[in-house]
Amino acid sequence: MLTEDYIIRMIHDMVRLLSKILGKQYEQPYGTYEASEIKHSSGLGFPECLYQLADQGEIGRAEDMLFEELDFSDIENLSIALNFYTYLNTFSDDRLEACSFSRDEVLDGLRDCAEEFGVDTALLDAFHD
User: Taking the CB of residue 55, how many other CB atoms lie within 10 A of it?
Assistant: 18
Residue of 106 and 31 predicted with greater confidence: 106
CA distance 123 to 110: 12
∠ CA 103-96-89, rounded to 5°: 50
Dump pLDDT digits (tens) for 20-69: 776 655 555 444 333 334 333 335 688 888 999 999 999 999 999 999 99
Q: 117 vs 47, 54, 121, CA distance in Å?
A: 18, 23, 10
Dump pLDDT digits (tens) for 5-24: 777 777 777 777 777 776 65
User: Taking the CB of residue 95, how many other CB atoms lie within 10 A of it?
Assistant: 14
Which residues contact residue 118 at a Cβ distance below 8 angstroms, ignoring those fewer than 6 apart?
A: none
Average pLDDT in the 86-93 region? 92
The per-residue pLDDT for 66 is: 94
Cβ atoms of residues 121 and 111 within 8 Å: yes
Buried b (16+ CB within 10 A) or exposed e, 75-92: eebbbbbbbbbbbbbebe
Dump pLDDT digits (tens) for 68-82: 999 999 887 888 898
